Amino acid sequence: MSRIFYTSALVLVVAGFATQPALAETPNEMLASIQKEALGIPGFSGFSTTRGESFFKTKHGNEWSCASCHTDNPAAPGKHAKTGKVIDPLAPSANTERFTSPKKMEKWFKRNCNDVLNRVCTPQEKGDVLTYLLTVKK
Amino acid sequence: MSIHKQKTFRVLAIALLAMGIMMPAAQADDGHDEKYGGKYGGENRGKPVQPVQTNPKFQQECSTCHIAYAPGLLPAESWRKMMASLDKHFGSDASLDAQDNKEITAFLVNNASNRWSASTAPMRISETAWFKRKHDGHEINPAVWKNPQVKSPANCAACHPQAERGNFNEHDIRMPR
């Protein structure tokens, strides 16, 4: 009897987790998942704030850099380079919603890397940028 | 024919003529005149432009970089093309995952313009015949478009403060100065 109870309780708990939308994560957890990806690449030796900052602020062959919309200060609100629509701050210190949804992060890295570099970003580049963003104070 | 009868005939003839002139205008004006290809050559926005029942995913995803343009502003085929080319969306990658894309496409197609009879499917709202007519030189002083607060015809809310809700009512227009 009690075994049946435990099993059904377990099933219920598992089902509860499964129906949840992607669980919110912290920016540090997101960074850890990028790092896990990067570790598979030969020669990887960690992320760098300076590299991330310079990547963020420089153009990479296209019209826009990350900073074109997010500005040179990621803790400040940005502005869409084309439509002018206000973009909430990107640095987690200024906007606690940033880097808490893996789905959202993937969506925007895909879009923005394509706009800025005409390709996907490497785990190294993503990790460098997030490491930089995590150091930006409000 | 007596003078009286002649007079009646003349009045009738004038009335008939007047009706003949006014009828097509009245028909064309309500936008249901399929015989003549519909108002604006068949390129007419829908009514209502924003359905009563909206879609949260559409609201969220389509309003990140610009306002969520009401589905009734374009025909179904425009939305299909738009959603199939989101990776090259007016010079930006606006791609969505397959599931979100499917849901939003269905919402846009189901609520697209119900008064569009032309076979055209423009990608820009500002290229439609109804838009051009409503925003031509007779309606709007060309200087308004040069106002930095307007910047682009895509910026509906510059003059239609309730554009996001699909309200483009003439009485609610506020031109920036």
**Partners of residue A82 in chain B, C-beta under 8 Å:** 65, 90-92
As a whole-number percent, the residues of chain A with pLDDT over 90 amount to 80
Q: Confidence band (pLDDT; 50, 70, 90) for A111?
A: very high
Q: What is the pLDDT of residue B24?
A: 45
Q: Confidence band (pLDDT; 50, 70, 90) for A72?
A: very high
Interface test with chain B among A70, A111, A114, by most B beta carbons within 10 Å: A111
Q: What is the pLDDT of residue B38?
A: 85
B72: tokens are: 């009734």
3-state secondary structure (DSSP) of residue B47 = coil
B48: preceding bond cis by omega (within 30 degrees): yes
Q: What is the pLDDT of residue A93?
A: 98
State yes or no: pLDDT of B65 exceeds 60: yes
Section A14-32 average pLDDT: 72
Q: What is the pLDDT of residue B4?
A: 62
For the entire predicted model, the pTM comes to 0.80
State yes or no: pLDDT of B34 exceeds 80: no
Instruction: Quote the CA–CA distance of A117 and A130 in Å, as a whole number.
Output: 17
Contact A83 B87 (CB under 8 A): no
Instruction: Quote the CA–CA distance of B125 and B148 in Å, as a whole number.
Output: 20
- Across chain B, what does the average pLDDT equal? 87
> Could you count the other beta carbons within 10 Å of the beta carbon of residue B25?
9
Give A 50-109 residues with CB within 8 A of chain B. Answer: 80, 82-85, 103, 107
B177: tokens are: 């100065």
The reply to whether A2 touches chain B by the CB within 8 Å rule is no
The reply to whether A43 touches chain B by the CB within 8 Å rule is no
Name residues whose C-beta falls within 8 Å of residue B176's C-beta, 6 or more positions apart in sequence: B144, B147, B149, B150, B158, B159
State yes or no: pLDDT of B112 exceeds 80: yes
As a whole-number percent, the residues of chain B with pLDDT over 70 amount to 79
Contact B66 A83 (CB under 8 A): yes
The end-to-end CA distance of chain A, in Å, is 57
Closest CA to B63 of A79, A82, A99, A85: A85
